[in-house]
């Protein structure tokens, strides 16, 4: 029996990515597409399809429903790709009514009893769900996934932090256009150009990373106190966020060991052989000029789910480290990560109790 899922915000850029990733998923099945302004239309008429090729046939003829609890009847999981404003209003209704809601939106990420999950990094935080249900009197639950820039960073930081204890992070990003959704960035703004600003992004990088790397203790997450300075830029790339990272660690850096810790990083999703878990969550490249977004964003056994790290090198201090990472922003940074959260939550018994 497959998990039955509804997609909220099904016609947007991330919504479309859900359809591509779940078209042939072994254990999750989309049974409802919901939208805001597009409700009532056939999916193929409501959407401006930005993926390659055509809309997966199974979904083209489905009707986009109004976003409401009654249209989720029969579903176990709600994948929300709603804009933040709408998420704030609608997601709690679904959680209250018994659904397992996995949200891409930033609306609830920083609430105390809401887990913000990257399965390989902080699956333990899913336990917050118990307190959440209890305190809020919900039959379901609400789990969030991080901002697309945070996801790649937190995955790469995790094994380094475990071994070297990270104190400071300076990160400069070069982010893909799909991160802004559709229509998103006008071509006249970005052709032959770079835009050195993405609204609210730099704040999210700091606070979300600290929450994700934090420790669960007596039903609270104690944030990991790292100083983080982020500068976020938009570049003319379709998919794949690049991040140039500088770290200061407590323990002296051994870059061979860093390489090994990153390459060999593995976690519960790998152990459970979840369908969306790549064998290597982090792939290390040793060529001087990799990762590159166009060449590496789909690397690994589950395309788009591995973070690719390259250019690992010492900084000017013996406690400083430099590297470049690439993470697919609409797969690992959005829909793919949410699907992996769901696969894990199902195994751990959080769904459909």
Residues that bind a copy of itself (CB under 8 A): 13, 50-53, 168, 170, 172, 174, 177-178, 182-197, 199, 206, 227-229, 231, 233, 235-238, 242, 244, 246, 288-296, 298-299, 310-311, 315-317, 320, 322, 324
**Is the CB of 190 or the CB of 272 nearer to a copy of itself?**
190
**Is the CB of 137 or the CB of 316 nearer to a copy of itself?**
316
Q: How far is the CB of 100 from a copy of itself (least distance, A)?
A: 31
Active site (annotated) includes residue 148? yes
Q: How far is the CB of 140 from a copy of itself (least distance, A)?
A: 34
**Is the CB of 63 or the CB of 246 nearer to a copy of itself?**
246
Alpha helices in 245-335 (DSSP H): 255-263, 268-271, 293-296
Q: Give the chain's end-to-end CA distance (angstroms, integer).
A: 15
- The active-site residue, picked from 25, 123, 125, 241, is 241
Could you tell me if 290 and 308 are in contact, meaning their C-beta atoms sit under 8 angstroms apart?
yes
Strands 166-175 and 241-249: antiparallel
The pair phi, psi for residue 120, each rounded to 5°, is -70, -20
Could you tell me if 261 and 281 are in contact, meaning their C-beta atoms sit under 8 angstroms apart?
no
* Residue 135 to residue 88: CA distance in whole angstroms: 18
DSSP letter for 333, please: I
Q: How far is the CB of 316 from a copy of itself (least distance, A)?
A: 4
Residue carrying structure tokens 């118990």: 130
Active site (annotated) includes residue 232? no
Q: Which residues have a Cβ under 8 Å from the Cβ of 53 and sit 6 or more positions away? A: none
DSSP letter for 331, please: I
Could you tell me if 234 and 180 are in contact, meaning their C-beta atoms sit under 8 angstroms apart?
yes
Q: How far is the CB of 27 from a copy of itself (least distance, A)?
A: 27
- The active-site residue, picked from 108, 148, 232, 328, is 148
Q: How far is the CB of 54 from a copy of itself (least distance, A)?
A: 8
Query: 309 pairs with which residues across the strands?
Result: 284, 325
DSSP letter for 167, please: E
54 exposure class (CB count in 10 Å sphere: 0-12, 13-18, 19+): exposed
**Is the CB of 199 or the CB of 271 nearer to a copy of itself?**
199
* Residue 3 to residue 186: CA distance in whole angstroms: 38
Q: How far is the CB of 247 from a copy of itself (least distance, A)?
A: 10
**Is the CB of 196 or the CB of 349 nearer to a copy of itself?**
196
Query: 234 pairs with which residues across the strands?
Result: 175, 195
Catalytically active residues, by annotation = 148, 241
């Amino acid at each position: 029996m497959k998990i039955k899922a509804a997609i909220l915000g099904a016609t947007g850029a991330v919504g479309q990515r859900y359809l591509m990733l779940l078209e042939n998923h072994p254990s999750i099945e989309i049974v409802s597409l919901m939208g805001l302004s597009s409700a009532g239309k056939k999916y193929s008429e409501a959407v401006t399809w930005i993926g390659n090729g055509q809309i997966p046939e199974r979904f083209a003829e489905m009707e986009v429903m109004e976003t409401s609890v009654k249209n989720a009847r029969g579903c176990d999981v709600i994948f929300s790709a709603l804009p933040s404003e709408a998420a704030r209003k609608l997601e709690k209704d679904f959680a209250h009514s018994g659904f397992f809601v996995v949200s891409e939106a930033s609306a609830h990420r920083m609430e105390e009893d809401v887990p913000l999950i990257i399965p390989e990094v902080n699956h333990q935080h899913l336990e917050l769900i118990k307190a959440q249900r209890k305190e809020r009197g919900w039959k379901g639950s609400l789990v969030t996934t991080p901002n697309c820039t945070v996801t790649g960073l937190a995955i790469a930081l995790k094994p380094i932090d475990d071994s070297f204890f990270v104190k400071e992070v300076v990160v400069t990003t070069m982010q893909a256009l799909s991160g802004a959704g559709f229509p998103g960035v006008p071509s006249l703004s970005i052709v032959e150009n770079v835009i050195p600003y993405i609204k609210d992004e730099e704040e999210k990088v700091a606070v979300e990373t600290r929450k994700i790397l934090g420790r669960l203790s007596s039903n609270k997450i104690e944030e990991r106190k790292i100083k983080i300075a982020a500068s976020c830029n938009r570049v003319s790339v379709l998919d794949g966020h690049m991040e140039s990272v500088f770290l200061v660690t407590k323990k002296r850096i051994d870059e061979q060991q860093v390489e090994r810790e990153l390459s060999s990083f593995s976690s519960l999703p790998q152990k459970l052989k979840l369908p969306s878990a790549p064998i290597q969550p982090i792939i290390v490249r040793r060529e001087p000029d990799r990762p590159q977004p166009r060449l590496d964003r789909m690397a690994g056994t589950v395309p788009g789910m591995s973070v690719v790290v390259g250019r690992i090198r010492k900084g000017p201090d013996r406690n400083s480290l430099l590297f470049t990472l690439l993470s697919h922003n609409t797969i690992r940074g959005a829909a793919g990560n949410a699907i992996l959260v769901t696969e894990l939550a199902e195994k751990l018994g959080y769904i459909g109790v």
